[in-house]
Structure 1
Amino acid sequence: MTPSYDRSSAPQPRAGLSRRTFGTVTAAVAATVAAPAVAAPAAGAAAGAAQAAEPRERPFRAARGRHSRRPNILFILGDDLGWADLSSYGSPHIRTPHLDRLARQGVRFTQAYSGSATCSPTRFSLYTGRYPGRTEGGLAEPIANKSVGLEPTHPTLASLLRDAGYRTALIGKWHCGHLPDYSPVRSGWDEFFGNFGGALEYYSKLGLGGEYDLYEGDAEYKDLRYYTRILTERAAEYVQRDHDRPWLLNLNFTTPHWPWIADGDTERSAEIVRRIKAGEPGALWHQDGGSVEKYTQMVEDLDRSIGRVLDALRGSGQEKDTLVVFASDNGGERFSYNWPLTGNKGSLQEGGIRVPTVVRWPARLDAHQVSDEPVFSPDWTATLLDVAGARPHPAHPLDGTSLAGHLLRGEELPERPLFWRVRGERALRRGEWKYYRGKDGRDRLFHLASDQREQADRASAEPALLGELRARWERIDAGLLPYPAVR
């Protein structure tokens, strides 16, 4: 599959897409990586009338030129954001102009996936570039106690980039283990400001167990303002610094994860805090709260917050040389808009793992592009290491494939399987076909190009293909850690 232009200000997935490859011109990204530059990005157009310019090749730029520098990397994660929860992905009621603009300025992926169906396994897959099942902490779906986490000895995106000369920071949700044994600052990030657990109440910062969960480094930090505001301020401050070397910032919002509390909902916050302190089990899960309207407020607030960070980046003069990736950690929850996909968070159906994903790098990528190429979280790890001139650790080979050649040189990605495993479910995608086994133990086969909704089971019509994909899944699974016995 090759990228195409995106010719609308609020593009609808796979609707009327013309086909073209990325324009390319040779230039070096770093001394250790030969990554040709591409045509200059098309200028942005007014909303509702965006038209992509044809690619214009530019002269070769030597390594000392502006476009040869290694990029800063800003990787932004939403939390439980559904595939179609952005207006640029088809939401009929949520307006996300800042993320839509980001999509127009770069590449919008229509078939991008998370590394797993819940929070912490996906983060493991992004930080390590490997299947979650390769590490003990990745077997927790998600991490809910302090017994497991991302081992500090395991190489990470941050540690490998730091070894290659990058500054590294993580702002927001970690969810890869708890103190005293696990922490971002022990796994390669120079700085950490955020929460360790899977969820917290947005004002009080109380977590699932009623503990306070806002930290700077490994020390508690008191701030009782709305959490999304705090993270936005911190991220804007970071990107505006006078950095003396390229940097990586993982910006992990908790929005729009439950509890569904928008900025200003102090009465609802106080009610949930009262219930948490009274020892009510599951008070933070907010099973009796939320609404489509409240969810819409939270997603639109996330969009505005990201817009403020991107404005700060532009004001710092670093926008052109910063590679920005936006994605979600898994599919949406109860109030998400996932049409036409089936399933949601926790499931390996498309709605549980297909996520909105946008990449922008003004110095190197044309604007107004759409890619239908299937990609998933570990691919981004491989890609970012590639363009930064960092090498994976030989003892911990990556499961992802670098997209640098696809994005920067218009190369076709090799056909490879995308693999997922969660307790009770399995899935593997190869090309346009997906093998899926649900909790009922029944093997299914779907042709996603004609059946995104996974309703037409082709297992009986294509038994040989079903057996081939099942065998491929089982070969990969055989190399992973087994799940511990359920007690």
Structure 2
Amino acid sequence: MLLHREPLLIFILSLFCCMGCDQPVQQQASNPPNVVIFLSDDQGWGDLSHSGNTNLHTPNIDRLAQNGLSFERFYVEPVCSPTRAELLTGRYHLRGGVSGTSAGEERLDLDETTFVELFQEAGYATAAFGKWHNGMQHPYHPNARGFDYFYGFCSGHWGDYFSPPLEENGKLVKGEGYLVDDLTNKALEFIEDQREAPFLVYLPYNTPHSPMQVPDQWWDKFEAKELEMVLPEEQNEDLQFTKAALAMCENIDWNVGRVMGKLEELGLEENTIVIYLSDNGPNSLRWNGGMKGRKGSTDEGGVRSPFFMQWPGRLPAGKSIPQIAGAIDLLPTLMDLTGINASVNRPLDGKSLVPLMLEDNPLWEDRMIFSHWNGNTSVRTQRYRLDSEGRLYDMEADPGQSSDIAAEYPEIARQLGLAKTDWDEEMAAEFDGNARPFTLGYPEATYTQMPARDAEPHGNIKRSNRFPNDSFFTNWSSTQDSITWDVEVIEAGEFSVEVYYTCSEKNLGSRIQLSVGGDQVQAKVKKAHDPPLRGMENDRVERMESYVKDFKPMPMGRIKLEKGRSKLVLKALEIPGDQVMDLRLLLFKRIN
């Protein structure tokens, strides 16, 4: 995993040019700081003991707040991929073309600059371990967005957390053990290898997103536990789901502790910026400080995230910051803290938070932070929130959003309503909504996946589940059936193709054909591979996502692809049995 990187010739971290400050704040360091970012998936603000939740204990995450800074009111978007896009770019997600969580809508536009690219250009060794969720095929892939090394998965959710199929720099591999532990193991190896050079490590964990799978070590503590902080009976909290989520959060905390221990062991803690946050509100109704809304909601509970930042000796310890901030602020803040030149090609929506971090009484104007999902937009100021229905709430007096005060303060409601309308119109003008093909044949990518998630089934073929991210295709029973991908070949060439399939003994013998443009390749299904559905054996709560199977690669042969947009079509020419196969993905490997 060792990367070879030209060392930085000169680094002096000085003159933090604070917004609204007459005097610069001077800091110096002999080496550029490392950066480690933890991002949890579907962990609510309330899923930490730091937030006052006595149902669980998260000492390692809490310690980041004790030894560093915590933002009391930090806002992300209601769901995964929009938040990740904003973290990466410092810009609202719709500006970058991210409007959904699957079907290609999660992809970040290629003309957007990520902070990772800026770190890479500055000489940092960069790596991501976990869930990407901003594009799978190059050049949307993390290896093309600034990460030298990537280990994890690019989809929105995964169907198995125990030694699952993953990818390593585009190559399909098998994980080792519980996924969050495995991701952390790989991150520890990277930190060890890169200890002499500045590094950026991004750990977007996959938990506590469902399916609710967690090792016995963590589940046993909660299975029979009497929870102290639960919702009123009429809210129908699923206590088993809550327990599974909390167990997963304690596992995250243990892994955060492992990373912090490695930094301390290597003498790197003093020169490493460590950040912790979540990507949206909790994925079930459970204790969340009395806030309204959960994941998917633009109300406070759906978009408020913990946000802690530690940098010993550089940032104050134990400081709590009341001013509102958000995911859009991460890029400018990191650029300010590290002294990296932010040569971003588009205006940012975020602003550097350094003045709030380093000054006791910063000049800081009130601002608006917008939250959007599925056609709903709300706007937050320091004191008020105008929700998606035009209701106004005083968040200081009424953090649970129980009393609409729009009639009492009509001018504030009007002004925020106009701001929300203007924002919606601006986003609509920037987001063209045009369908983007899936890219294939990017010259710098050896491998390209075309998963069932990104395809359209025709005829009898069905998805294994209505949520496409970890689905596969089944019920392929007719020569009139087909599976298609809308693709754009970036650069012509010859590729070998594998199909990841399952097929019973009785259904062997189907002949399938893959075609794109005027080229095609055919293959016959000769080997049975018929594993059972699995996942349920490790679920602590019945899942809503697809169960999974162990799919096997079958070589199809070679195909020549011409540059340009076309349909990738997979169909059967002969079906001697009841079905052709179940299909998970096609894997293309560039030959020349």
Using the size of structure 1 for normalisation, the TM-score is 0.76
Q: What is residue 378 of structure 2 aligned with on the other side?
A: 427
Contact 1:185 / 1:191 at 8 angstroms: preserved in 2? yes
Question: Which structure carries more strand by proportion?
Answer: 2
Q: What is residue 189 of structure 1 aligned with on the other side?
A: 147
Question: Matches of 1:368 and 1:147 in 2, distance apart?
Answer: 39
Contact 2:379 / 2:385 at 8 angstroms: preserved in 1? yes
Q: What is residue 173 of structure 1 aligned with on the other side?
A: 131
Q: What is residue 130 of structure 1 aligned with on the other side?
A: 91
Note the C-alpha offset of 1:122.
0.3
Residues 240-319 of structure 1 mapped to structure 2, 5 A cutoff: 240-264=192-216, 290-319=240-269
Q: What is residue 43 of structure 2 aligned with on the other side?
A: 81
Deviations 1:312-345 (A, max 9, x none): 1111111011111100001101154212111100
Q: What is residue 154 of structure 1 aligned with on the other side?
A: 112
Residues 1:203 and 1:221: Cα distance change in structure 2 (over 3 Å): same
Question: Matches of 1:62 and 1:393 in 2, distance apart?
Answer: 22
Contact 2:16 / 2:26 at 8 angstroms: preserved in 1? no
Question: Matches of 1:293 and 1:329 in 2, distance apart?
Answer: 20
Question: Matches of 2:409 and 2:143 in 1, distance apart?
Answer: 49
Q: In structure 2, the residue corresponding to 1:479 is in which secondary structure?
A: helix
Deviations 1:234-289 (A, max 9, x none): 12222223444322111111111101111149x9xxxxxxxxxxxxxxxxxxxx99
Question: Matches of 1:390 and 1:181 in 2, distance apart?
Answer: 24
Where does the alignment leave 5 or more consecutive residues of structure 1 unmatched? 1-28, 38-59, 207-211, 268-287
Residues 353-368 of structure 1 mapped to structure 2, 5 A cutoff: 353-368=303-318
Q: In structure 2, the residue corresponding to 1:88 is in which secondary structure?
A: helix
Letter in 2 for 1:100: D
Q: What is residue 339 of structure 1 aligned with on the other side?
A: 289
How many correspondences in the alignment? 400
1:34 equivalent among 8, 15, 22: 15
Residues 1:334 and 1:394: Cα distance change in structure 2 (over 3 Å): closer
Deviations 1:406-434 (A, max 9, x none): 21233243322111222231111122111
Note the C-alpha offset of 1:290.
4.9
Q: In structure 2, the residue corresponding to 1:220 is in which secondary structure?
A: strand
Question: Matches of 1:187 and 1:61 in 2, distance apart?
Answer: 32
Q: What is residue 331 of structure 2 aligned with on the other side?
A: 381
Q: What is residue 104 of structure 1 aligned with on the other side?
A: 66
Note the C-alpha offset of 1:473.
2.0
Question: Matches of 1:485 and 1:462 in 2, distance apart?
Answer: 40
Contact 2:44 / 2:283 at 8 angstroms: preserved in 1? yes
Q: What is residue 470 of structure 1 aligned with on the other side?
A: 417
Contact 1:30 / 1:388 at 8 angstroms: preserved in 2? no
Contact 1:117 / 1:346 at 8 angstroms: preserved in 2? yes
Question: Matches of 2:210 and 2:239 in 1, distance apart?
Answer: 9
Note the C-alpha offset of 1:203.
3.6
Q: What is residue 33 of structure 2 aligned with on the other side?
A: 71
Residues 1:100 and 1:185: Cα distance change in structure 2 (over 3 Å): same
Residues 1:334 and 1:422: Cα distance change in structure 2 (over 3 Å): same
Contact 1:81 / 1:336 at 8 angstroms: preserved in 2? no
Contact 2:42 / 2:282 at 8 angstroms: preserved in 1? yes
RMSD value over aligned CA atoms? Answer: 2.8
Q: What is residue 480 of structure 2 aligned with on the other side?
A: none
Larger deviation: 288-297 or 370-379?
288-297
Letter in 2 for 1:123: R
Contact 1:131 / 1:378 at 8 angstroms: preserved in 2? yes
Q: What is residue 159 of structure 2 aligned with on the other side?
A: 201
Letter in 2 for 1:72: N
Q: What is residue 531 of structure 2 aligned with on the other side?
A: none
2:190 equivalent among 232, 238, 257: 238
Residues 204-223 of structure 1 mapped to structure 2, 5 A cutoff: 212=165, 214-223=166-175
Deviations 1:106-130 (A, max 9, x none): 112221111x110000000001110
Q: What is residue 53 of structure 1 aligned with on the other side?
A: none
Structure scoring higher RCO (CA < 8 A, sep ≥ 6) equals: 1
Note the C-alpha offset of 1:469.
1.0
Q: In structure 1, the residue corresponding to 2:83 is in which secondary structure?
A: helix
Q: Does 1:418 align with 2:369?
A: yes
Question: Matches of 2:190 and 2:364 in 1, distance apart?
Answer: 34
Deviations 1:148-203 (A, max 9, x none): 61234421010012122222111111000122542111011111111111111344
Note the C-alpha offset of 1:291.
2.5
Q: In structure 2, the residue corresponding to 1:443 is in which secondary structure?
A: coil
Question: Matches of 1:409 and 1:30 in 2, distance apart?
Answer: 24
Q: Does 1:395 align with 2:345?
A: yes
Q: What is residue 19 of structure 1 aligned with on the other side?
A: none
Residues 1:129 and 1:403: Cα distance change in structure 2 (over 3 Å): same
Residues 1:205 and 1:127: Cα distance change in structure 2 (over 3 Å): farther
Letter in 2 for 1:248: L
Contact 2:99 / 2:106 at 8 angstroms: preserved in 1? no
Question: Matches of 2:85 and 2:27 in 1, distance apart?
Answer: 37
Q: What is residue 118 of structure 1 aligned with on the other side?
A: 79
Q: In structure 1, the residue corresponding to 2:305 is in which secondary structure?
A: coil
Q: In structure 2, the residue corresponding to 1:169 is in which secondary structure?
A: strand
Q: In structure 1, the residue corresponding to 2:193 is in which secondary structure?
A: coil
2:354 equivalent among 404, 416, 425: 404
Deviations 1:212-251 (A, max 9, x none): 4x11111111125210110111122222234443221111
Residues 1:426 and 1:147: Cα distance change in structure 2 (over 3 Å): closer
Question: Matches of 1:289 and 1:482 in 2, distance apart?
Answer: 40
Letter in 2 for 1:179: Q
Where does the alignment leave 5 or more consecutive residues of structure 2 unmatched? 1-9, 19-24, 220-237, 436-592
Letter in 1 for 2:99: L
Residues 1:355 and 1:483: Cα distance change in structure 2 (over 3 Å): farther
Letter in 2 for 1:377: A
Deviations 1:83-111 (A, max 9, x none): 11101101121111111122111112221
Using the size of structure 2 for normalisation, the TM-score is 0.63
